Amino acid sequence: MTTVLGCIADDFTGATDLAGLLARSGVRVSLRIGVPSEPPTDPAAFEVIALKSRTAPVVEAVAESRAALKWLQAAGAQRFFWKYCSTFDSTAEGNIGPVAEALMQDLGTDQTIYCPAFPENGRSIFMGNLFVGCQPLAESPMKDHPLTPMGDSDLMRLLKPQVTKPVGLADRLTVARGARALAAELAALKSRGVAHVVVDAVANSDLEVIAEACRNMKLMTGGSAVAMPLPACYLADGTLSPDAPKVRTPKLGTKTIVLSGSCSAMTNKQVADYTSRGVPAFQLDPLALAENGPQKALDWLAKQDLEVAPLVYATANPASVRAAQEKLGVAGAGEIVEATLSACAVAARDRGARRVIVAGGETSGAVTKALGVTQLDIGAEIAPGVPWTYCHSGGHEIALTLKSGNFGSETFFSEAQTKLEFL
């Protein structure tokens, strides 16, 4: 199999989100954590490389993205997708524009599109302005983001200082006239030297038009949603064979561990729901961990029946989190919890757990690292943006699901397990 679309994502949960949407097509999608050190041997039709470049220095983000591009080209890809956040998270220096321009240069192409819209999640673009729900981006909570505060809602104005070539707009009135009209507008803009085109989208049907018009561009850029219709486009035009390998659902052992390090409002509800079912659960206290280490938790876990999917969690309400952070520092408390949950993941795997459910973005990063996971095949979706994945850890194939912050419904932990039973 050669890769049909090579994707580069600027963070891990963004990569999972994109991979999950592509896998809705039923075609095999593979996610790599970082640029693989080995050349591709068994590439999937859709390859997604997760970088950690959103807030990295521009030079680093560009270099990593170029390395990812090279690997994807070696996998046979001729079309590429640069995925960033649907709220266009970036600073005035970059990294969205500089990475796009570097990739365009390497690919020898003189135009790309920018479409971070995700209408189902309330991200829409009209006349080049990005809205979060009913609010313009710069009036949304994103204005106060600690790392990438967004002080402007106009994507063209945001992009201009990040790139060297002209920026333009294909507006909603053009998109509403269909794929041919949009393709003609892009060609007209190209003839005027416009290299970077922001494209409006306010509904899923707009995304279908954009994907249809842009499916053969060497480089598309955007949020995950505009890539969602691409597999269907490639199947329809024969770029992707109907015999392309499908999403896999290997039969794995039923021993399960649930690990929760997220303290989001939804994860608090999910932990409450799961413990109310009488499932054995161990609550980690960061202060006790700082004093006595993780042994108590590991001893508890060693006695549990993994067939009933016990839970180890640090999830707590904001007051308890603050109390721990005041004593240990924000990073200190986080690291202690992440290290303990990672040790629990490894211990459970070594005792036969083949299903691992993790809540928390940073927590997921720490647990995958501890499990030595570098490649995941995307499986069935449990909740929007949260698929089951299959990967290798310690010589075993395991199912792993990584849920960030507020994703999933209140019953997520039990739903995730039920989902595997019915595959």
Residue 167 or 314 having the CB closest to ligand ADP = 314
Helix H or strand E encompassing 18: helix 12-23
CB of 342 to ligand ADP, least distance (A): 10
Measuring CA to CA, which residue among 26, 87, 20 is closest to residue 50? 20
Residues forming contacts to ligand ADP in the complex (CB under 6 A) are 261-264, 267, 286, 314, 316, 320-321, 324-325, 333-334, 337-338, 360-363, 404-405
Question: 366-370: which pairs have CB atoms within 8 A and are 24 or more residues apart?
Answer: 366/261, 366/338, 366/339, 366/341, 366/342, 367/259, 367/338, 367/341, 367/342, 367/402, 368/33, 368/400, 368/402, 369/342, 370/342, 370/343, 370/345, 370/346
CB of 306 to ligand ADP, least distance (A): 23
Strand partners, 169: 198
Residue 95 or 262 having the CB closest to ligand ADP = 262
Residue 294 or 334 having the CB closest to ligand ADP = 334
Residue 214 or 301 having the CB closest to ligand ADP = 301
Minimal CB distance residue for ligand ADP: 360
Residue 232 or 281 having the CB closest to ligand ADP = 281
Distance CA 11, CA 61 (A): 11
CB of 54 to ligand ADP, least distance (A): 14
Distance CA 301, CA 353 (A): 12
Distance CA 318, CA 303 (A): 30
- The number of CA neighbours under 13 Å toward the Cβ of 66 is 12
Greatest distance between any 2 Cα atoms in the chain? 69
Residue 48 or 312 having the CB closest to ligand ADP = 312
CB of 333 to ligand ADP, least distance (A): 4
Start-to-end C-alpha separation, the chain? 25
Residue 204 or 325 having the CB closest to ligand ADP = 325
CB of 230 to ligand ADP, least distance (A): 27
The phi, psi pair for 65, rounded to 5°, reads -65, -40
